[in-house]
Amino acid sequence: MSDETAALRRQFPLLAQAGGTLHYLDNAATGQIHEAALDAMVQHERYARGNVLRAGHRLAQTATLAYQRARGQVAQFLNAAHPDEIVFASGATAALNLVAQAYAHLCKPGDEIVVSVAEHHSNLIPWQQLRDRAGVGLRFVPLGAGARLDLSGLRALVGRRCRLIALTHASNVTGAVTDVGPVVEQARAVGAHVLLDGAQRAPHGPVDVRALGVDFYVFSGHKCYGPGGVGVLWGRGELLDAMPPSATGGGMVERVTLERADYAAPPRRFEAGTPPVAQAVGLGEALAWMSRQDWPRIERRLAGLTARLIEGLLAVPRLHLAGPLDARDRVPVVSFWLEGLHSHDVCQVLDGLGVALRGGHHCAQPLMQALGTDAVSRASLALYNGDDDVDALLAGVREAVRILA
Amino acid sequence: MNAALYNEAIKALARAAHGAGTLAAADAVVRLDNPYCGDRIDLALRLSGARIGALAHETKGCLLCRAAASLVGLHAPGAHVMQIGQAIVALDGLLTGADLAPEAWQEFAVFGPVREIPARHGCVTLPMQALHKAVQAAQARVQGPGL
């Protein structure tokens, strides 16, 4: 383990405590929480706990300032034009549902939404619901070479009735990063909007939503070294302004009579009820910490680890990789399956050796079908992973083959 | 833990795949999925009075699930329907710490190491749940609608 990796692990309480006994490679499911995020939440709950955007007493004001500060930290992480473009939700799934429910009101029968076959169920089922409720057509970007999205048919796929293209920014199974440029170009050509599911991309460094040219971006806190129970929807201000709320209740209105309610401006319009304040504070600190890291250096190191991992896996007989064979344009998520062995058994053996991996369909069953398998084992690296983790995984896979065959 | 869990008896059961296949003229066909891992079993059976006359299953899943399905295929044909509920209780009990009763299917004992891994209990119980549902469905079909 390098000094750099060791120094990083010391900043993550669970990893620091585990020492060398844990090789945590399930970061695509949940990353470990950074001490700054944990400390910020504890401090907030101990000394600044109050409801936000409501009362005028000092504690409430302190809590509100902390909450809004977190919104600013998220905006900075995403290079959003304004903190008011940041909506806190309970997670990426809730954020995606929020947009889908708004589009149920904004779409007309016959309009179309484009998604891909590689989506996490969270970026598929909400659109299926929209199709069923609003008579909207669903079209799918297929999988192409190297299990990357095949964008060559975009022109035919994205027609005049397309209102939104909702794609993964990086696949939670293959690790492939979507080439966003052509997507945005085709969307603009027909007046459609673009939403990116950034749940797997955001953990790997700040995102520039304005440079990407997209209209919506969602991600979750627990994958970005922050707490669970909080996620983010970023939307262009003018688009959020035009969207109706998906949930209603306290805190999201200007005035209510027995007959009607006048909704507040975004982001409050979309944050009905008491929001996850401490979680937002923790996420803000996690993202602020991330923003201070040397990401080009981290990316080079993780790309090297990913390449070594892929090379090692490909040397195992009857092993198939579910994704690109190179480390280019991908996040460090590597999935594989072994002929005749189920991924859950493989992951079970690995767990017995201290290597934490997830096996299964990864909430991407249509993608499993496209890949020609029922389930895969997935190794997902984070910035605190090192050579020792890759070594343990590769040795564990060989041991799994020995035990299970 | 790995060697105990993936013991030779479990592997042999999975390999044997007792009862694997399809069944013509079944009284009931049941499909069950384990949403946690994607294990799937299609189980068909035919009753012969109060006993299971014939049974077949197609199981796609992990080694534990396939071993449990194989055990169902081994013991369920010929069993009295009352025994199925007792077998489920015995298996659930084994997984939560109880000893196997003398009248229970003794091969359940191979799943003892799974007790320590709650996340995998569903892999083992899925075939028994499918069997239970199939028996209920078959009985309802054979007996016809009630008043």
Confidence of residue A238 (pLDDT cuts 50, 70, 90): very high
Select the residue of B2, B62, B120 nearest A352 (Cβ to Cβ). Answer: B2
A225 domain-assigned: yes
User: What sign results for the dihedral spanned by CA atoms B19, B21, B26, B30?
Assistant: positive
Convert B38-60 to b/e letters by CB count within 10 Å (16 or more is b): bbbbbbbbbbeeeebebbbbbbb
Kindly provide the b/e burial profile for residues A25-45, where b requires at least 16 CB atoms within 10 angstroms of the residue's own CB.
Answer: bbbbbebbbbbbbbebbeebe
The nearest CA of chain B is from the CA of A352 a distance in Å of 6
ipTM of this complex: 0.89
Residues A266, A336 within the same domain: no
Domain made up of B2-139: CATH architecture: Alpha-Beta Complex (3.90)
In terms of pTM, does the model score above 0.90? yes
* pLDDT at residue B35, rounded to an integer: 78
Specify whether A10 is located in the same domain as A116: no
| Domain assignment present for A120 | yes
Round to whole Å and give the CA distance between B146 and A126: 41
Higher pLDDT, B141 or A264: A264
Q: Is residue A200 in some structural domain?
A: yes
Q: What's the CATH number where A81 sits?
A: 3.40.640.10
Range of the domain at A121: 38-291
The reply to whether residue B2 touches residue A375, judged by beta carbons under 8 angstroms, is no
Residue A130: C-alpha distances to residues A136, A169, A228, A269, A364 (Å): 7, 21, 27, 21, 19
Distance CA B80, CA B70 (A): 18
Kindly state the average pLDDT of the residues A158-187.
97
Number of domains present in the structure of chain A: 2
Chain A residues contacting B via beta carbons under 8 Å: 341-345, 348-349, 352-353, 359-361, 365, 368, 374-375, 399, 403-404
Alpha-carbon distance of A165 to A214, in angstroms, equals 10
Residues of A in contact with B118 (CB under 8 A): none
Counting one residue from chain A and one from chain B, the pairs whose CB atoms sit within 8 A come to 43
* Residue of A173, A344, A362 to mutate when probing chain B, most B C-beta within 10 A: A344
Residue A286 and residue A171 share a domain: yes
Q: Are residues A399 and A322 in the same domain?
A: yes
Residues A128 and A143 both lie in one domain: yes
Residues A156 and A18 in one domain: no
Helices A277-291 and A35-47 meet at what angle, rounded to 10?
A: 150
B89 touches chain A (CB under 8 A): no
Residue A363 annotated in active site: yes
The answer to whether A167 touches A178, Cβ cutoff 8 Å, is yes
CATH number at residue A317: 3.90.1150.10
Per-domain boundaries in chain B: 2-139
Answer yes or no: is A30 within a domain.
no
pLDDT tens-digit series, residues A76-117: 999 999 999 999 999 999 999 999 999 999 999 999 999 999
Same domain, A80 and A204: yes
Look up residue A303 and give its DSSP letter: H
Query: pLDDT by residue for chain B (147 residues), tens digit each?
Result: 788 899 999 999 999 999 999 999 999 999 999 877 778 999 999 999 999 999 999 999 999 999 999 999 999 999 999 999 999 999 999 999 888 888 888 889 999 999 999 999 999 999 999 999 999 999 998 877 655
DSSP string, A231-288: EEEEE-HHHHHHPPPSS-STTSEEEE-SS-EEEPPTTGGG--SS--HHHHHHHHHHHH
Block residue for tokens 């953990």: A203
pLDDT at A150 over 90: yes
Chain centroid to CA A238: 24
Tell me: the pLDDT tens digits for A277-291?
A: 999 999 999 999 999
